[in-house]
């Protein structure tokens, strides 16, 4: 009989079959084994059932879908990732590492934005009215553990979080009243109030693309603010004293108005949309005011369990570096290597100061595109003179924290005897090309 997995990775997806295929392809490159993948979706036909267990959920309610996955999970530890996110290969291992402390009930990582490089979400803390307050945690920090508190909690962002299954079961799982928005703040606050420590793990990173959905366009302009208003009202009624309700709702309305005005000034939306969207927010407030609060009973804290056994899956990481004219060579080699289980990053450079953009190809490898003289991190200058090799060095140094590169390959044919020649069968497709170990790059 096969051993039950210790870890269940749950992906909730709705009407995004292409994004779902991509995140599942990406998950194959995690650097540990012993985990199962569960997909809860209304498009089950796109999932490879040899890789994931699939459960149909046609209700447009993210908390309900997450609970479906929770009930189906075989693992003692539950990780969640969205369908429009891409986890780095060390993501799961790093996210689960703090569970060596038996008092930790949940962990959350950092999230990079659509360009795959800039920080979208770092550490944030929620208060009793659901307002997020940034935490001063650097991306290079070790995991930061927070003691239980009745009034606040670090937020386990839904696109990048993990939990002890007994901890989630103790508090009744996700509250289905939060069909969208503040579901992760609510679960984090309830875990903290139930006596669980929570940890922020900066090095456990995913890219989050903000794919279009029923509530927002791809450019992040909302189509309606009704679910935001409804969830905000429910959260305040559930957790905050009555005297805090009106001021919190007023602040939230002002925040949404300022965000819409900024989008209008950027040309992303029309002026007439502002009043319409604020009307949907107010309608959401009314809907949340009239709904009964879900009874969420909290049982006794379960006995301590051992930490997850993380079995490493050693993988080679190869960076295929070249210019735009070399893209066909990079695509060919990237497909071959990724099918063999090698982690591949295709770095395609132009002679320009264009910003770097990171992503993941439908063919199963990571991509980096941008200018040889352009910046990757926001703190860098707009233009920096570099040779192609210099830019390759800069990118391997940047990737060292995220997922270290072992070898860099260039498209030029090698005639030098001192260039590394891969002997491993997995790397045989690169024989004859310039392949250098990262230590010599």
Copy the structure tokens of residue 308. 């997850």
Count of CB atoms within 10 A of residue 400's CB? Answer: 11
Dihedral pair phi/psi, residue 316, rounded to 5°:
-85, 140
Burial 317-349 (b: 16+ CB within 10 A, else e): bbbbbbeeebbebbbebbbbbbeeebbbbbbbb
Helices of type H across 270-354: 271-290, 327-339
CB 58 within 8 A of CB 15: no
What pLDDT is recorded for position 226?
93
Q: Read off the pLDDT of residues 375-410 as tens digits, 9 standing for 90 and up.
A: 988 788 899 999 999 999 999 999 999 999 999 998
Share above pLDDT 90 across residues of the chain, in percent, rounded to a whole number: 66
Higher pLDDT, 140 or 99: 99
How far apart are the C-alpha atoms of 193 and 150, rounded to whole Å?
5
Considering only 132-141, 158-167, 202-211, which range has the smallest mean pLDDT?
Answer: 202-211
CA distances from residue 377 to 82, 108, 123, 374, 394 in whole angstroms, order as listed: 24, 23, 19, 10, 11
Q: Read off the pLDDT of residues 26-61 as tens digits, 9 standing for 90 and up.
A: 999 999 999 999 999 988 888 888 899 999 988 889
Which residue in this structure is represented by tokens 């959920």? Answer: 57
Residue ranges covered by each domain of the chain: 7-213, 315-440
Residue 172 confidence (pLDDT) above 70? yes
Q: Which CATH superfamily is domain 7-213 in?
A: Spore Coat Polysaccharide Biosynthesis Protein SpsA; Chain A (3.90.550.10)
Count of CB atoms within 10 A of residue 389's CB? Answer: 14
The predicted model gives 279-304 an average pLDDT of 89
What pLDDT is recorded for position 349?
94
């Amino acid at each position: 009989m096969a051993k039950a997995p210790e870890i269940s990775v749950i992906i909730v997806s709705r009407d995004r079959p292409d994004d779902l295929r991509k995140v599942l392809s990406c998950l194959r490159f995690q650097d540990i084994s012993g985990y199962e993948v569960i997909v809860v979706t209304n498009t089950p036909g796109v999932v490879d059932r040899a890789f994931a267990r699939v459960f149909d959920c046609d209700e447009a309610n993210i908390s309900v879908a997450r609970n479906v996955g929770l009930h189906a999970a075989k693992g003692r530890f539950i990780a969640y990732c969205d369908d429009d996110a891409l986890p780095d290969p060390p993501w799961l291992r790093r996210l689960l590492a703090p569970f060596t402390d038996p008092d930790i009930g949940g962990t959350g990582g950092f999230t990079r934005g659509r360009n795959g490089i800039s920080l979208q979400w770092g550490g944030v803390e929620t208060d009793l009215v659901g307002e997020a307050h940034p935490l001063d945690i650097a991306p290079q920090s070790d995991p930061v553990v927070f003691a239980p508190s009745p009034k606040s909690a670090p937020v386990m962002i839904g696109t990048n979080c993990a939990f002890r299954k007994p901890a989630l079961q103790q508090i009744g799982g996700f509250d289905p009243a939060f069909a969208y928005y503040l579901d992760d703040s609510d679960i984090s606050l309830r875990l903290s109030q139930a006596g669980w420590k929570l940890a922020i793990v900066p090095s456990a990173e995913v890219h989050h693309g903000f794919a279009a959905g029923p509530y927002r366009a791809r450019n992040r302009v909302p189509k309606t603010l009704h679910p935001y208003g409804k969830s905000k009202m429910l959260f305040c009624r559930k957790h905050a004293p009555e005297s805090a309700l009106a001021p919190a709702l007023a602040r939230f309305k002002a925040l949404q108005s300022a965000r819409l005005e900024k989008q209008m000034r950027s040309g992303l939306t029309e002026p007439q949309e502002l009043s319409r969207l604020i009307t949907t927010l107010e309608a959401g407030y009314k809907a949340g005011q009239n709904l009964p609060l879900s009874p969420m009973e909290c049982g006794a804290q379960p006995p301590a369990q051992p930490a997850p056994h993380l079995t490493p899956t050693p993988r080679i990481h190869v960076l295929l570096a070249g210019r735009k004219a070399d893209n066909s060579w990079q695509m060919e080699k990237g497909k071959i290597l990724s099918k063999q289980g090698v982690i591949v990053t295709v770095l395609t450079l132009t002679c320009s100061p264009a910003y770097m953009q990171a992503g993941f190809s439908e063919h199963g490898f990571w991509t980096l595109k941008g200018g040889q003289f352009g910046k990757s991190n926001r703190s860098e200058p707009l233009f920096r003179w570099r040779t192609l090799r210099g830019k390759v060095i800069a990118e391997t140094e940047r990737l060292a924290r995220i997922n270290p590169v072992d070898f860099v390959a260039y498209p030029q044919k090698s005639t030098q005897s001192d260039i590394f020649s891969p002997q491993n069968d997995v790397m045989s497709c690169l024989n004859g090309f310039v392949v250098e170990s990262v230590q010599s790059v």
